[in-house]
Amino acid sequence: MTKVIDINIKRTGFPVGFSNPDTGERVELWFDSSIESMKKYLDLDKLALEKYKKVKAAAAKFSESLDGDRALGDHADVTEETVDAAIDFNKGLIAVKYDLLFGDGSFDKIYDVFPDFEALESNFYAVDQAIANKIKQDEFARKNQANKIRNQYNKKKKHKKK
């Protein structure tokens, strides 16, 4: 029987945790910082627009189902259905942001533990900034590692010439 050689491959990226201090619950998502994954951010506007169009289409279907030209801001027209539709629309907009950053379905994982779309919206900037800072740190570490390898190679090359 042939023995299998196992190679452990470390994923490029890092975990991002979301904790609920009230319940102690925690959700951890993976931010993929591989070059292949980062490439998608070149087309981020296009991706965001596609997702936004889907959310907007869902909102349009709901608004068409309202009788006449009632405005959602008119208190006489506020029903549980209109409030739910407004929440779903806003959740959809926020979901686009989280799903673009962490992958489809990520917002739902977070929302299951933190059912407060306003809190998730207000904290998105902090999430975005923390990830940007981590990417910068990782880039610096990669450059240092590349420089070390290059220097080692140059030393070996010099040593061979002697």
Does residue 7 lie within any of the structural domains? no
Residues 111-135: what's their mean pLDDT? 92
Residue 103 predicted with pLDDT over 50: yes
The verdict on residue 88 lying in a domain is: yes
- Residue 140: give the domain boundaries: 44-150
Convert the pLDDT of each residue in 130-140 to its tens digit. 998 998 898 88
> Residue 87: inside a domain, yes or no?
yes
Contact 15, 32 (CB under 8 A): no
Please indicate, yes or no, if residue 3 is contained in any of the structural domains: no
In a domain, 161, yes or no: no
Q: Note whether residue 19 is domain-resident.
A: no
pTM of the entire structure? 0.67
The total number of structural domains in the chain stands at 1
CB 95 within 8 A of CB 107: yes
d(CA 78, CA 159): 80
141 within some domain: yes
Encoded tokens for 116: 């407060």
24 within a domain of the structure (yes/no): no
So what's the pLDDT on residue 69?
Answer: 44
